[in-house]
Amino acid sequence: MLPPLQDQHSPTREIGEGEAKAGHVTSDQVRDPDRGDQEEQGLVDRPLSTSPTQASSRIEPDIFDDNDLEDELYPESTNTSYLTSIASDIRRGIQENGRTYGVYGLHKAWIPSDDLEVERNDLQHCKFTMLMGNELYLAPIIDHPQKILDLGTGSGIWAIDMAEQYPSAKVIGVDTTLVQPNVIPPNLVFEIDDVEDDWLWGEGTFDLIHGRELIMAIRNWPRLMEQAFDHLKPGAYFQLSGSVPDFKSDDGTLPPDSAYIEMGKIYFEMSQRIGCSGWEPTRWKEHFENAGFEDIVERVLKIPTNPWPKDKHLKEIGAFELSHFRDTIGNVFARGYEQILNGDPNYFQVLLAKARKEVLNPNMHSWVPFYVVYGRKPRTSTTDQPPHQKSASPDA
């Protein structure tokens, strides 16, 4: 058994909609113009093509004849071509357990950076976009953004979609690995850098800064918030989103001895050991406030773990999550479980097999929370704002 976790509070809160280094290596959604002063109201007045499901709303389950989704269809992953112009040692990375891990950055990489990870990243992008009502972001940015930054861009798919949606904007995607495609929009550039290091982009120049699923990559969230604040134009937005594997069910169909719950414990223990708390999305709103952002909105959405919901939209999201968990999650966890926790790989494989069986059970109505938090930099000059109290580097 794992040692007791020190950070296991009950973090998932039901939030209403109205709450408010060295040089780079290189390779904004439209707000309703009729909104006027209503932009202060955040997402409440912003129509979505398909409304996201808040954590406060109960999902109605569909009815299934058996407990196995083995024969159900779920999305196939995509193929991507990759940048080949970067130095070979960075491009090749480190080979372990049949996976490739990046070698660039301030800290050791625990998430792979190879073809399979690119496919997982692209699959996740489809799922998260659907979850947010088929939107790439929820912050009410200006109609014609000129400069957009994507932190931890991964496969680059979000940055590519944004560059295509806003062809007049310059879009920058940054990551510690370059696995993005060669063919990209002309207004998009990928850079290799660690966003926990000093940012070299001009301060006060971005209309939107975006980060998604950065939980295992960031150790000093207050400093990230400060750097994002400083590099935004007055009135511009910073948005973060990410999932927390705190598995839940609304109807008691998730047993307390579920392999899901045990996998979640492993994730939180790994993240805590390396200084990247998996609970951090539950604290983002507070970090935004401390950094000086205004009009902060926190949304907590539900990701079904398989196609158990009756609602067709949520059923499709669940199908994406089933594919993600069943086919890739074990590979993502493997390196950290063995090297961070010194865990028994045989036990992990047994647990993983049990979890993969559970994910095929449509009568287990489990879900995980997905946090979306965004805030606006005050419209007044940054010189009128109190200076940040610089954050000390956390102990890793």
Which domain CATH number covers 130? 3.40.50.150
Determine, yes or no, domain membership for 268. no
pLDDT, tens only, 124-182: 999 999 999 999 999 999 999 999 999 999 889 999 999 999 999 999 999 988 778 88
pLDDT, tens only, 344-373: 989 998 999 999 899 999 999 999 999 999
Determine, yes or no, domain membership for 361. no
Is residue 323 classed exposed, middle or buried when 0-12, 13-18 and 19+ CB atoms within 10 A define those classes? buried
Structural domain for 135, as ranges: 25-63+81-250+276-304+370-380
Written as six digits, the tokens of 160 are 């590519």
Determine, yes or no, domain membership for 48. yes
Is residue 224 classed exposed, middle or buried when 0-12, 13-18 and 19+ CB atoms within 10 A define those classes? buried
pLDDT, tens only, 16-28: 333 333 334 343 3
CA angle 275, 202, 393 (to 5 degrees): 20
Number of domain units in the chain: 1
Tell me the angle at which helices 312-339 and 345-358 cross, rounded to the nearest 10 degrees.
170
Determine, yes or no, domain membership for 74. no
pLDDT, tens only, 100-140: 554 444 444 445 556 667 777 888 999 999 999 999 999 99
Determine, yes or no, domain membership for 134. yes
CA atoms within a 13 Å half-sphere pointing along the CA-CB vector of 186: 2
Determine, yes or no, domain membership for 326. no
How large is the average pLDDT for residues 7-24? Answer: 38
Determine, yes or no, domain membership for 349. no
Determine, yes or no, domain membership for 12. no
- Rounded Cα distance between 264 and 268, Å, is 6
Provide the 3-class DSSP secondary structure of residue 303: strand
